[in-house]
Amino acid sequence: MSPQEKARELLADILSRAEFTGAEEGLLQRLADAIKSFLPGLISGPGSIVIILISFVALAVFTGLLIWIMRRFRLSLDGEDGAAAAGAGQYTPRRALAGSSEAAEKGDYKEALRLLLLALLLELDEEGSLDYHYSRTNGEYLRQLRERDYPSFSPASELFFLYEKIWYGRARCRREDYDRGLKLYSMLQEAGP
């Protein structure tokens, strides 16, 4: 007997043992059997696999819908961000920049940085480099700038990332962070559209 035949025979012997029986069953059948053993009497009959499958699909759809709703309306769920989004419609680039300076003078560098980015977004919207809407994410704005071959993409993306680190990373915003944002904003102003 050749070594390959011996190996096949040994493998067949191993796979015929009790611990390997049922391996030919499908994943859904094994899942249904596990649930039946965990919850005896709750699910029985040949349609149990279909019921389980429909339940999992419904759960996945519900979870996806819930995540989508939470992301879509996250600004209205968070009071601070919601107020900022509601107030964004009253700003012009000049007013946002003035508000940024006022917030910095008061020592609220986090708000100053937010208004600085808002001023940039509104300016870029006015010049046609992106389409501003308060519900869009910074990632969406960066994709728009990249797709439209915005010439000063690098400093703009650096300002977005600084803002993200401070605002969403909940990092403490210091005067140096705001000054860095102001320098990036000035670089973008000098470069023009």
pLDDT reported for residue 99? 93
Residue-wise pLDDT tens digits, 51-80 = 777 878 888 999 998 888 887 765 444 444
Q: How many CB atoms lie within 10 A of CB 177?
A: 19
Residue 83 has pLDDT above 80, yes or no: no
Lowest mean pLDDT among 51-60, 67-76, 90-99, 146-155: 67-76
DSSP three-state, residue 153? helix
Cα 77 to Cα 5, 61, 64: the distances in Å are 67, 22, 18
Q: What is the pLDDT of residue 80?
A: 46
Question: What is the residue-averaged pLDDT of the chain?
Answer: 80
This prediction has a pTM of 0.54
For residue 26, pLDDT beyond 60: yes
Per-residue pLDDT averaged across 161-175, rounded? Answer: 87
- Taking a C-beta distance cutoff of 8 angstroms, is the pair 116, 185 a contact? yes
Q: Phi-psi category of 63—alpha, beta or left, where left has phi over 0 and alpha has psi -120 to 50? A: alpha
Whether 86 has a pLDDT exceeding 60, the answer reads no
Q: How far apart are CA 72 and CA 133, in angstroms?
A: 12
Please, what is the end-to-end C-alpha distance for the chain in angstroms? 80
Residue 148 scores a pLDDT above 70: yes
d(C-alpha 179, C-alpha 55), whole Å: 54
Report the pLDDT value the prediction gives residue 105, as an integer from 0 to 100: 94
Where is pLDDT greater, at 108 or 153? 108
C-alpha to C-alpha distance for 49 and 1, rounded to whole angstroms? 45
Instruction: Count CA atoms closer than 13 A to 156's CA, side-chain side.
Output: 27
- Cβ within 8 Å of residue 100, ≥6 positions away: 111, 112, 113, 114, 115, 116, 119
Q: Cα–Cα distance between 46 and 157 in angstroms, integer?
A: 57
Q: What is the rounded average pLDDT of the residues 141-157? A: 87
